[in-house]
Amino acid sequence: MNNKIFTKKEIFAQLEALGAPSDRVVLVHTSLRAVGAVEGGAQGLLDVMIEYFTRGGGLLCIPAHTWHNLGREITLDMNSSDTCLGALAKVAAEDGRGIRTENPTHSMVIFGDRVRAEKFAENEARVTTPTAPEGCYGRLYSEGGYVLLIGVAQNRNTYLHSVDEMLKISNRMASNPEKVAVIRTTGEIIRRELTLYETDYTSDISERFVKYDTAFRYHRCVRDGFVGNAPTLLCDAVKMAEVVKLIYENSGKADPLCDEAPIPQRIYCNL
């Protein structure tokens, strides 16, 4: 059994070795179990990531989703640290240094320059889909950001839903929207409808995002490293979107995720 406890200094050095940027927007999806023991636990890992990713003026984004509240009276309470994503999300939601977005189901906590973070987070309460291209997830593309997958694979890369929307890939959205509500810190309640992701051939389209992995590697969209014990992927948001667009267009705009078969090399190599 590996009983090593990774220090904050060691985690910092691993991020440097990975070549992770400190001046861009970085969205992090994390499995703490895969990372292993870290000095200071989940809070310690959050602390070192805040230090690393914001030192050059960048923004660190930690998902703090609340889709588990769909069907309830309130989907997101901005006065609560409620989230369905585990320990790191919870400590991020409780940490006063961050700004939590008002996205009803796919909230994130943003750390970094306050003015820039507020600008990045604005109008999230009014998005019409969980990862709307005009919202935070779409801004990963427009601002040349990155997705960091720590101990998880592309099936946890929520940003790829936004890419689907950018490209208007069919058979991705539900026919009928869901009613959602956000309680702001002021007590104001914003009620609206949100169209969720749905296909007629699988219960969770994100599980098929792993099909893109070979193409992403071929086009050097991802870089490998470690955070603690966890295999880690640093993913370029713009390059990933360009590769998905290439696959979609080269397939005659057929859905590349309609089955579980690998994506043919001739499609993603642009031959």
pLDDT along the chain (271 residues), means of 10: 87 98 98 96 98 98 97 96 94 96 97 96 92 96 98 97 95 94 96 95 94 97 98 98 96 92 91 52
Q: Are the beta carbons of 44 and 37 closer than 8 angstroms?
A: no
Please give the single-letter amino acid code of residue 236: D
pLDDT of residue 3: 80
The tokens describing 125, both together, are 């309460």
Three-state secondary structure of 64-109:
CCCHHHCCCCCCEECCCCCCCCCHHHHHHHHCCCCEECCCCCCCEE
Q: Are the beta carbons of 29 and 150 closer than 8 angstroms?
A: yes
Q: Which of left, alpha, beta for 151 (phi over 0: left; psi -120 to 50: alpha)?
A: left
pLDDT of residue 270: 72
pLDDT of residue 165: 96
pLDDT of residue 271: 52
pTM for this model (two decimals) = 0.96
Q: Are the beta carbons of 162 and 134 closer than 8 angstroms?
A: no
- Distance between CA 143 and CA 112 in Å, rounded? 15
pLDDT of residue 123: 86
